[in-house]
Structure 1
């Protein structure tokens, strides 16, 4: 923080203004840590254009982003600055964000192209910005494009959210579940053990609801400590699978855990693929 403030207080050399950018400020999540920056903003240098990005720390990697301290927000506004929310959001909000980018694009994508973009980008939605700029540079502003036109410019598939894998398994859709797994381990960079942890949590919730007597969304949400919608889905899946199949799924998870920790000579990716295929197959019966 001291280095950022020092840079902001340094007059420009051989130019009229100086631009200073501070990134990964999310690691300074409390009022005390951010105090030097707040103090600077009380009397900022007029020749400095300061941009601070409230995002997770990179080295070491910060797992959880702290909220922006109120004192910093007030200091920015009082200094005549702007606070802009640039996050994509989650769930429907994220889907809407991507739709808005496609609506505002310099090229016109038909329905097939839009569906393909949603599918391929997955959770890597911010990548749509340079993607659309590339299309405009290649085809020209205002060009009408279909799926065949945009396919060469899309990656194999971006990361997907953990619940997408759970949904595909619960639906018994083996190909989709394997595609989600591949994207989580590929673009998402998750180790098979990390995927296994996600699945342990998923089936742990189903196991907790099975035989509990809970019959409504609120009861499930209270028991699991999660929001209503995912609790409702978990309750429905628990009823559909039943105790026997949930128990079989838990056993498959246990076997895969041992295999990933050295019991089997199989590659870890293969262990994860076989597990996901078997779990999805359980949901189809």
Structure 2
């Protein structure tokens, strides 16, 4: 495989994946003789192509890394597209997303003539954490791996450092429990918005408040950002009030949502009912005013009261 395109929305995970891939490609060879890396802000793709077209010297292959490939426009990637159509057998070209939106033509060419590595964990963090642990060679029991996934939340990029620390502390052969992992953990990571809204909709006030705290602190979200998340969630539900939607298709037409989000909005509306849906909108409006200074209350307290009240509706 001569062409590799690595994508992902977490810079730390992406960087780790690039390092692992390059290590595999170099193997036992001399990195200084085999690798050409382009990561300066002003490098040109013509230089990348020239390096890829140069036969290796005192090695069996050349590895060419081009970072922040997204900063190049569709017109600017033309030389690289021409190379991808006819790559040199002795060159491995590693293209790393970043710097902007990767050209669709480049993505399509890499998919057709090489391999696209999507490093994003996705929504199923639990499976991703289990896979990463397996690849690391560590023996972490299933329960501990699940708890670690919950602790990481949105900060999946912290997993690589944790696994490296565990390997150093316990070795590859030891079976590691959560009690052995906890001393190396700091503050729990942030969480995705749907975790908070799901906890609210099932009426789990304690969990909802815990997740709110993680969003505000570890996640670094401002209370107004969380307010925006909740407003969007309940606005989608409120659109179904009086609409007579009976199925996912009807809900999609009314809300403008597609697929599962439309189905979930209908389920949530049916769960709340008309009266509670109106109460939620009123409470959101009042909390929004309080955040903007209507009452002299701590913004975090405003959000805690709001989340607690909303969770009681379910």
Please state which band the TM-score falls in when normalised by the shorter chain.
Answer: 0.7 to 0.9
- Equivalent residue for 1:51? 94
Structure 2 unpaired stretches of 5+: 1-40
In the alignment, the residues of structure 2 paired with residue 36 and residue 224 of structure 1 have an alpha-carbon distance, to the nearest angstrom, of 44
Aligned match of 2:70 in 22, 26, 34?
A: 26
**How do 1:58-207 residues align onto structure 2 when only pairs under 5 Å count?**
66=101, 68-71=103-106, 73-74=108-109, 82-92=114-124, 94-207=125-238
What per-residue deviation string (whole Å, max 9, x for no partner) do you get for residues 76-129 of structure 1?
976xxx43413224224x432222223334221123312211110112223322
Shift of 1:51: 3.3
Shift of 1:39: 5.5
Indicate if the aligned counterparts of 2:46 and 2:79 stay in contact, CA closer than 8 A. Answer: no
Instruction: Please state whether the residue corresponding to 1:157 is helix, strand or coil.
Output: coil
Indicate if the aligned counterparts of 1:158 and 1:188 stay in contact, CA closer than 8 A. Answer: yes
Structure 1 unpaired stretches of 5+: none
Instruction: Please state whether the residue corresponding to 2:292 is helix, strand or coil.
Output: helix
Find out whether 1:3 has 2:72 as its counterpart: no
Please report the TM-score for the alignment, with normalisation by the length of structure 2. 0.73
Find out whether 1:252 has 2:295 as its counterpart: no
Shift of 1:206: 0.9
Indicate if the aligned counterparts of 1:73 and 1:83 stay in contact, CA closer than 8 A. Answer: no
- Equivalent residue for 1:237? 268
Indicate if the aligned counterparts of 1:16 and 1:47 stay in contact, CA closer than 8 A. Answer: no
Aligned residues: 268
CA distance change for structure 1 residues 77 and 241 in 2, over 3 Å: closer, same or farther? Answer: closer
Structure number with the bigger relative contact order (C-alpha 8 A, sep ≥ 6) is 2
Please report the TM-score for the alignment, with normalisation by the length of structure 1. 0.80
What per-residue deviation string (whole Å, max 9, x for no partner) do you get for residues 176-227 of structure 1?
1112112222222211111111111100011011221101122213322333
Indicate if the aligned counterparts of 2:64 and 2:91 stay in contact, CA closer than 8 A. Answer: yes
Instruction: Please state whether the residue corresponding to 2:215 is helix, strand or coil.
Output: helix
Instruction: Please state whether the residue corresponding to 1:176 is helix, strand or coil.
Output: helix
CA distance change for structure 1 residues 89 and 154 in 2, over 3 Å: closer, same or farther? Answer: same
Indicate if the aligned counterparts of 1:25 and 1:53 stay in contact, CA closer than 8 A. Answer: yes
Which range is displaced more, 97-106 or 272-281? Answer: 97-106
In the alignment, the residues of structure 2 paired with residue 177 and residue 76 of structure 1 have an alpha-carbon distance, to the nearest angstrom, of 41
In the alignment, the residues of structure 2 paired with residue 132 and residue 250 of structure 1 have an alpha-carbon distance, to the nearest angstrom, of 44
In the alignment, the residues of structure 1 paired with residue 110 and residue 269 of structure 2 have an alpha-carbon distance, to the nearest angstrom, of 50
CA distance change for structure 1 residues 10 and 74 in 2, over 3 Å: closer, same or farther? Answer: closer
In the alignment, the residues of structure 1 paired with residue 277 and residue 198 of structure 2 have an alpha-carbon distance, to the nearest angstrom, of 15
